[in-house]
Structure 1
Amino acid sequence: MKGTFYAVGVGPGDPELLTMKAIRTIRECPVLAVPISDPECGQPIWNRFAKEERWLEKCAAYQILTGADLDVTEKEMLYLPMPMIREKERLRENHDRCAKQVMEILDVGLDIACVTLGDPSIYATTSYIKVRLEQNGYRTALIPGVPSFCAAAAGLNVTLAENREEIHILPASYDIEKSLSLSGTRILMKTASRTAQVREALEKRGMDVLMAENCGMEQEQFYHSVKEIPDKTSYYSLYIVKEPKEETKW
């Protein structure tokens, strides 16, 4: 029988947000797959029991497991290159190679737990592999994790929506002006490369702006207005944007 590919959400960074279901799935799967963005990892590598520390120490999803004292020393390791590039053809070829390697492992009956930050249904790189596996008749499953914007709202001590308010989850690397014209709460993700443009657009509109940077990680920072946000922010940054509200009196 062929194995199953599990895309496992490990939450945004805080090991305490790793779910019991994620822990159980990782423990039960003999192969642990980790996404690697290091350019030196150009090909998927199935390295039985060998730990490539130079890559793992930079993998945020893997570091969550170590922070939770989850013992994975006996796992077979699968390193999947996930480069930070936009060239569609190169990305397609890379995802094809990763899926092919995953299929070879599943064909010998081994289950794979592939860890991903946050939740695997939200902008997760595992989705590109998942769809290729399903097209070829392999079994897949999603193990939900705490999304970064939910953890950020908790860290900022705010609610994301009330009553009939809408919530929009948006990649800020695209048409920011169009995104800001939507009603309700706008969650802007993938903002690091356009911090200056995003901040300028928000200042013009006079919106209520909150920002979380490295939520749940050691370098965690929260900002409560657009003026507090620095010129440069890390890759793991998101905005929570709302229309100004009148203060409710009791």
Structure 2
Amino acid sequence: MPFVRSTRGISTTPMFLKKNKGPTNLKDEAPEQYSRKGKPNPAHAAAAAETPNDDPYNFKKFDDSVKHAVEGCKTEIQHLKSFSGRVDPSVIENLLVTISHGKKEDGGKEVKEVKLKLGELAHVAPKGREFILTVNDESFVNNIKNTILSQMSMNPQQVSPSTPNILKVPIPMPTKESRQNTAALVQKAGQKWLDKVQYIRGSHFTHLEKLKKAGTARPDDVKKAEKKLQEKLDKTNKELKQLIEKSKQDVLQS
């Protein structure tokens, strides 16, 4: 039998990781780091990249969660800004429209509801203070009209009886009151996402404290990781606050 040199650091996932889960969901059984032939196991590498394990400097899950929160904040604020009367096609294009998929017949498949972005169902073009929608399939027209009416409080109308798939959506003129109301909504939405980021930070901080308590990471390393975590939080908070303030000013000056 050939001699196999022992390599320091080669090990399976320690048992205590099953109890000390961080912000991510750790699997009950982690894949072996090496295959029987002594080659690195790709599954192990993938799992290590997705979970913090006992490395206090692994911020992948935190960074991914924060990035998702920032994008969510941008999307919600962009949607709210539409109520100030800004002519932006993306406001309409990003609305989610519920449509029925399939047919329910004898021996056929059941009808299922799916949600698609309006931009996938119609072409949207601004024209003066209107949006002109050219719907790809006439069967989607009512779904689109109901979505715009319920989510945007705008009433789509047919351009002509001969072209039922072409709609016009009048954009209401903004008023001082509507601008102020929208700015308040932007502030409220932004604060919600700031709180979400704070929660994400708290979850990761708890994970670091568990590592220190379990003795799986040196106290000095945990302390440095906590400092790094706070720096990341401060940077994200600054980015979100600048976004919120700029969006409020855009609304008030529109």
Higher-Rg member (1/2): 2
TM-score under structure 2 length normalisation: 0.20
Which of the pair is proportionally richer in strand? 1
